[in-house]
Structure 1
C-alpha cells in the first residue's frame, strides 16, 4: 500500500515492529489508535479515542467523530484506484462468465442501489435484512445500506423460513432484499419462496426487493414486492453518503448462543472500520497488486470483515465465489486460484479436510504459483490439515495464518502475521496489537506464565468489539461481560505454550462449532422438541473428521412412537426434517440416539458432560454418576451408543 496512506503503526513489517506496536497499543491505546485512524476520511474527528467500562459492557471508540464507512471503502479510492479491480465474482458454474468490477464501477452500483432503497422508503436507522445468493448484488446491497445509514442484517441463505422470521422480527426490519433463486453446487434453492413463507409472520416488513439472478418465475405481491432491475432503471448512479456518528450501528449479525433465541450482535461504524482495515492489512500482509480470496459467505462475519469491508477499506481486489469447493469437481478452488492469479487465500479447515479426502491429483493438476499467503478461519486447524495445506497448496513457501476470532470481536484477535510472527501448526499464535488476552481459572483469577491452560478472556477494550445485542443490552452484559467482571469472556478454552503462543482448545459453554458456524445446544434442542414424536432431547458436540465438531442428539421418544426397531429410521428421519425446517440444513444432527432417559441431577439439570464423553467414546472415565437421579440410565445410553 502507498506509504502516504500508512501511518507509523498501521503496517507492521518486522517482528521488532510487532513488539513495538503491541507494547504501545496496550500501554498507550489512545495514542496508538489515533495514529492508526488518522488516514481515514472523517467528516469530523473524534473528541475521545476510547471510553470503556468493561463490567457494564460499555465501550465507545472515536466518540464525537462523523463519517461514512462507504466513503472509506469507495470514494477515497476513486482518484488513485478508480480503474483498479475492486471485486471479482466467480459463478457457481465455471462455464458461466465471471464478473469484474472496478472501484469506480462498484461505486456507481452502490450509489444506484442506495437510491433504490431510498426510493422505496428506507431511511437512516432502518433495519434491512438480506437473504441472498453469493452474487455481486449482495455485496452491493450491503454497501448501499451503509451508504444511506440503514442497518444491514445479512441472513445466510441456507436458514429456514422460521429462522429468517426470528431474525426479521427481532430486528423489526422494514425491508428484505432477496433474489429469485440460488445455485450452490448441484442444488437449486428458491430463496424468494422461502422469504415469502417467513414473512407470513413478519408484520414489520413493508417492502421486498427482488434481484433477478436465475430468471425463475416467482410470486410477486403487488403491494409489497418490487424487482430490483426495474427500480434501478429510475435510479441515479450518484448518491451522497449519509453522515454517521462513530457509534451509530453499522450492522446486526445473528449468532447462536446457549439459549434458544439467536443473539443480534451489533457492530458500530468507526471502531469496526478501523479494526477491519487494520487486521486485514497486517494479518495477510497485503500488497497493492494482490488478488485476495476469502471463501466465506457474506452471511457470516468472516464475509463481512474479510471479503467485503476489510479488503475494500484497504483498496484491495477481493474475489467473491458463488459455489462450493467440490463442484463440478474437487479441483474447483485450485482452478479458481489459477484462473484469477489469487495470491492470498483464506478458507475454513472444514473445506481443507473435505478436499484432503479427495484424490491428490485434484490439487496437483494446478500450478498455484500465484499464492503467497494462506489463511484458515472458523475453528482451530488440526495439525494434519495444516501440513497438507502447507505442503500441497502452499508448496512449503506460503506462510499460514491460523486466525482466531468471533462474530462478537468484529475481526481477527489472535493470529500469526504472515511471514512476520511465528506460524506453528495447531497454534493461533500471538495476539494482535490492541488485544490483551488472559487465561482465567474458574474462580476468575488470572493464570500467569507460559505452559498454562484456562478460560480465554480479553482484558482491554478494542475498536472492533461487540457493542450490544440488539434490543437487549442486559443479555450482552450477562453473556460476555458478566461471567468475569472486567473482562470480555470468549467462551473458549485456550493454552499458552512455552513460547507464549496461544492454542485454542474449544468451547467451554453450551455452543457447538460446526464447520466454523456456532449453534447453541438449546437452539437445536428446541427445534428437535418441536417434533411430535419427541418428549425431550439433549444435544452435544462430538469430534467429526470433516466438520471439526458434529452434532450428537440424544432423544426420548413419546410413548408409542418407537414401538420396535423398524420405527427408529422413520423417527430419526422425521427429527432431521424438523431441525432443517426450524433452523436449516447446516444444523442437522450427524447422529441421533434414541434413549429411554437422560442423565439428570436431582434438581433436573442434564449432565451434558457425561453425554459428551459417551459421544466421544470415552466411557471409561465418566466420573461419579451415583449422585444422578437415575444412575442406571447412563449404562443404557452407553450400550445404545455401541
Structure 2
C-alpha cells in the first residue's frame, strides 16, 4: 500500500509514527481522532485522569451514538445507501435495509421503549437471534440514552435470570426463537422462566413474532393469559407486548444528548461463575475508537461492505456487525447461518461474492470447520472473490497451519487480531488501512495505536525482546475499552489492575520479538510446567497442527506426581481422513509425537495424544481447555454457560478420565 501523506507536513504517515504519537501524546492523538464523529457539544479535552485508575475519555463532550450511526448519514444525503444486508442462510432470504429505513425503524422502536418508561440510564436486556431487530433494539436504546445488555438468544433461563438481577432492566426485548441448521430454538419459555426466577421485576417484555415456533405471545404469563412455568408467580408486574403492535402505536423519537462518559452497554463476559462480570462501554470513547479502527485497521469506508461472521451476543458482533460499520457509513452483513451446514462449507464464500464484501472477519474455529469439511478448498473456487481485500480473524488463537491454508486458498492477507471483551477493539492487529505491514505467521502483527503493550515477568518487570511473559497494557487504556465493571468499580480494579502496578493485566502470555511483532501464546493458565520447563500449550498445538491429517487440536496440562504436569493432546481429524484400526491409530499417534518432538523438543516429553470426534467450545469458538483439564484431573468443574454444545463435552469426558 502506498504511504499516506500527512496533511500537516510532507512526512509520510507510517504505523511507527502513528503508534509513537498515540502512546506519547494520547491526549492530542485521541482529541484529533474525535473529529471523525458528530458532537452535540464537542470535547475540549480527551482524558480525565482525576479518578485514576478509573480513567474517562472526552469528559465534557455530549453526543448520541445512534445519531452518529444513522441520522447524520441520512442528513448528508446518503439515506438510500444500504446499511444492513440481512442474509439468512437458514431461511434462504436476503433483505437490504437502507440508512433511511433503518433510521425510521430505530426511531419508532425508540418510541416503543419510551412508551414503556425507558429513558436515559435505564437498562434493557436484548435476547434476540441474528435478525435486523437486534440492530434496531440496540440502536433504539442508544437513541434514548438507555443501556443495553445483549444476552445470546437461546441462553439458559437460569443464566438469563442472573443477568436480569445484575442489570435490573426496565424491559426485555426478545423474539419467538432462533433458527439453527437442524432445529428451532424456542425463546419465549426461557424468557418466561427467567422472569419467574429473577428477583428483579421486569416492567415489559417486547416480543418480535417469527413464524414456525410453537410458543406464542398468547401463551405468555400476565394480563390474564395462561403462563408457562409457574402461573401464580411468573410475570407478576410484567407486561408482554407484541413488537409490531407496539411499533404501530408509537411515535418516532429524536436522539437525546448523552455525556460521552455515560454507559452505552453492558456485556457479560463468557464463562463467568458466581456474580456475573459486566463489562461497561461508554458512548464517546467507544464511537471514536471504533470509527478510527474502521479506517486504519479494517480499511473499510463509506459505501463499502464488511461481513463479520460472528454473533451480536459477542463483543465482535457489538463492535463490527452493529456499531463500527454504521459509524462510518459502510454496509454491514448480518448473517444468520453457520460456516458449514447452511448449506455447505462454501457458505462464507457465497456471502462474500454475492454482496461484494471487501473485509471478512471471522473466528479461527470457523476457518478450521470449513477446512475440516472442504480440505482442498474446492468450494471457494465456485465464487468470484475478487472484491475481497482482507480476511481478519479473532476470538481464538489463529494457528499457523490454518492461517497458511486460508491465505493460500483466498490469495488475500490473513490478519490475526488479538483482543478481548474488555477492550472492545484489537490490542494487536495489522493496520492495513494505515500501513499494511508484512505478515508473520503466528503473530497478530503489532500493538494497535493507543495500546502501550508491555511483556512483564511475575514481579512486574519488563523482559527482554523475544522472551515470553505476561502481556500487560500500561494505563490509561485507550478510548473504547471498558470503563469499569457494572456496579462494582472495586471488582474492576481487583480483577484487572492489581496484578501489575500501573497496568491492565490481560491474563495472556506472549512475547514481542526484535522486530516489534506481538505473539500471543495463550492464557497464562495455559502455560504448563513439565519438570521445571515452562511450555506454552499454544506452541504444542502449533506443532500438532502441522500434521496433514489434523483439522484442529487442543493441548492441556495434567497433574503428574513426578514432573508436576504433563502435556496431553486431543486432535480432530479432517473430513474424509480415517485411521485403519489400532495399528493405524498407533502410527498416527507416533507421527504426532514426532511432530512435537521436532518442533518443541524433547523437553516437552509429549506422549499422550488421543483422536476425538470434536472439541468442546464456547459459542465464540474458544476451546474449553480449563474445563477439560479439570475433568481429566478429577477436579470439581463448572461448565461455562456459553458452551456451544454440551453433548460434545459429555462425549469427551470418558476420554479425559482415561488420559487423566
Displacement of 1:361 in angstroms is 2.5
Q: Find out whether 1:439 has 2:436 as its counterpart.
A: no
Residue 321 of structure 2 is matched in structure 1 by 307
Residue 221 of structure 1 is matched in structure 2 by 221
Displacement of 1:221 in angstroms is 3.0
Residue 188 of structure 1 is matched in structure 2 by 184
Q: Residues 221, 390 of structure 1: CA spacing in aligned structure 2 closer, same or farther, 3 A cutoff?
A: same
Which of 370, 388, 393 in structure 2 is aligned with 1:376? 393
Displacement of 1:498 in angstroms is 2.5
Q: Residues 498, 591 of structure 1: CA spacing in aligned structure 2 closer, same or farther, 3 A cutoff?
A: farther
Aligned counterparts of 2:647 and 2:40: Cα–Cα separation in 1:
47
Residue 26 of structure 2 is matched in structure 1 by 29
Residue 211 of structure 1 is matched in structure 2 by 208
Aligned counterparts of 1:331 and 1:433: Cα–Cα separation in 2:
35
Aligned counterparts of 2:101 and 2:652: Cα–Cα separation in 1:
54
Aligned counterparts of 2:371 and 2:571: Cα–Cα separation in 1:
14
CA contact (8 A) 1:541 1:550 kept: no
Which of 72, 80, 85 in structure 2 is aligned with 1:76? 72
Residue 537 of structure 1 is matched in structure 2 by none
Aligned counterparts of 2:142 and 2:97: Cα–Cα separation in 1:
19
Q: Find out whether 1:98 has 2:107 as its counterpart.
A: no
Which deviations, in whole Å up to 9, do the C-alpha atoms of 1:460-515 show, x marking residues without a partner? 3211121111111111100110111200110100111231100111111489xxxx
Q: Find out whether 1:177 has 2:173 as its counterpart.
A: yes
Q: Residues 64, 282 of structure 1: CA spacing in aligned structure 2 closer, same or farther, 3 A cutoff?
A: same
Which of 276, 281, 290 in structure 2 is aligned with 1:276? 290
Displacement of 1:587 in angstroms is 6.0
Aligned counterparts of 2:37 and 2:73: Cα–Cα separation in 1:
11
Which deviations, in whole Å up to 9, do the C-alpha atoms of 1:524-567 show, x marking residues without a partner? xxxxxxxxxxxxxxxx9976657563441645999xxxxxxxxx
Aligned counterparts of 1:262 and 1:588: Cα–Cα separation in 2:
24
CA contact (8 A) 2:271 2:642 kept: no
Which of 196, 199, 213 in structure 2 is aligned with 1:200? 196
Aligned counterparts of 1:15 and 1:399: Cα–Cα separation in 2:
23
Residue 659 of structure 2 is matched in structure 1 by 641
Aligned counterparts of 1:482 and 1:586: Cα–Cα separation in 2:
35
Q: Secondary structure at the match of 2:426?
A: coil
Displacement of 1:8 in angstroms is 5.7
Which of 132, 143, 164 in structure 2 is aligned with 1:136? 132
Residue 295 of structure 1 is matched in structure 2 by 309
Q: Find out whether 1:480 has 2:496 as its counterpart.
A: yes
Q: Find out whether 1:365 has 2:361 as its counterpart.
A: no
Residue 429 of structure 1 is matched in structure 2 by 445
CA contact (8 A) 1:159 1:585 kept: no
Aligned counterparts of 2:490 and 2:568: Cα–Cα separation in 1:
28
CA contact (8 A) 2:18 2:449 kept: yes
CA contact (8 A) 1:159 1:584 kept: no
Displacement of 1:94 in angstroms is 5.4
Q: Residues 246, 362 of structure 1: CA spacing in aligned structure 2 closer, same or farther, 3 A cutoff?
A: same
Aligned counterparts of 2:82 and 2:652: Cα–Cα separation in 1:
51
Displacement of 1:206 in angstroms is 1.6
Which of 233, 241, 259 in structure 1 is aligned with 2:248? 233
CA contact (8 A) 1:48 1:64 kept: yes
Q: Residues 75, 14 of structure 1: CA spacing in aligned structure 2 closer, same or farther, 3 A cutoff?
A: farther
Residue 258 of structure 2 is matched in structure 1 by 244
Displacement of 1:154 in angstroms is 0.2
How does 1:50-65 map onto structure 2 within 5 Å? 50-52=47-49, 56-65=52-61
Which of 377, 392, 417 in structure 2 is aligned with 1:403? 417
Q: Residues 36, 583 of structure 1: CA spacing in aligned structure 2 closer, same or farther, 3 A cutoff?
A: closer
CA contact (8 A) 1:85 1:317 kept: yes
Aligned counterparts of 1:293 and 1:543: Cα–Cα separation in 2:
32
Which of 446, 464, 468 in structure 2 is aligned with 1:453? 468
Aligned counterparts of 1:90 and 1:366: Cα–Cα separation in 2:
17
Aligned counterparts of 1:541 and 1:492: Cα–Cα separation in 2:
21
Q: Residues 452, 485 of structure 1: CA spacing in aligned structure 2 closer, same or farther, 3 A cutoff?
A: same
Give the TM-score, by structure 2 length: 0.77
Aligned counterparts of 2:123 and 2:568: Cα–Cα separation in 1:
34
Displacement of 1:204 in angstroms is 2.5
Comparing 157-166 with 60-69, which one deviates more in the overlay? 157-166
Give the TM-score, by structure 1 length: 0.79
Which of 155, 159, 163 in structure 1 is aligned with 2:155? 159
CA contact (8 A) 1:554 1:594 kept: no
Q: Find out whether 1:46 has 2:49 as its counterpart.
A: no
Which deviations, in whole Å up to 9, do the C-alpha atoms of 1:330-372 show, x marking residues without a partner? 2211111122121211000000001101133222222322211
Aligned counterparts of 1:384 and 1:227: Cα–Cα separation in 2:
49
CA contact (8 A) 1:458 1:488 kept: yes
Q: Residues 388, 556 of structure 1: CA spacing in aligned structure 2 closer, same or farther, 3 A cutoff?
A: closer
CA contact (8 A) 2:427 2:451 kept: yes
Q: Residues 62, 583 of structure 1: CA spacing in aligned structure 2 closer, same or farther, 3 A cutoff?
A: closer
Aligned counterparts of 1:116 and 1:284: Cα–Cα separation in 2:
35
Aligned counterparts of 1:15 and 1:156: Cα–Cα separation in 2:
45
Which of 364, 379, 399 in structure 2 is aligned with 1:349? 364
Which of 443, 467, 471 in structure 1 is aligned with 2:487? 471
CA contact (8 A) 1:277 1:310 kept: yes
CA contact (8 A) 2:83 2:332 kept: yes
CA contact (8 A) 2:6 2:12 kept: no
Aligned counterparts of 1:579 and 1:548: Cα–Cα separation in 2:
13
Q: Secondary structure at the match of 1:74?
A: helix
Aligned residues: 543
Any stretches of 5+ residues in structure 1 without a counterpart?
A: 1-5, 512-539, 559-574, 596-613, 616-636
How does 1:9-20 map onto structure 2 within 5 Å? 16-20=13-17
Aligned counterparts of 2:402 and 2:72: Cα–Cα separation in 1:
40
Q: Secondary structure at the match of 1:357?
A: helix
Which deviations, in whole Å up to 9, do the C-alpha atoms of 1:40-84 show, x marking residues without a partner? 211112243102379x53111000111111111111111232111
Q: Residues 190, 479 of structure 1: CA spacing in aligned structure 2 closer, same or farther, 3 A cutoff?
A: same
Q: Secondary structure at the match of 1:328?
A: coil
Q: Secondary structure at the match of 1:178?
A: strand
Residue 518 of structure 1 is matched in structure 2 by none
Q: Secondary structure at the match of 2:137?
A: helix
Q: Residues 41, 493 of structure 1: CA spacing in aligned structure 2 closer, same or farther, 3 A cutoff?
A: same
Aligned counterparts of 1:180 and 1:414: Cα–Cα separation in 2:
39
CA contact (8 A) 1:165 1:199 kept: yes
Q: Residues 594, 230 of structure 1: CA spacing in aligned structure 2 closer, same or farther, 3 A cutoff?
A: closer
CA contact (8 A) 1:555 1:592 kept: no
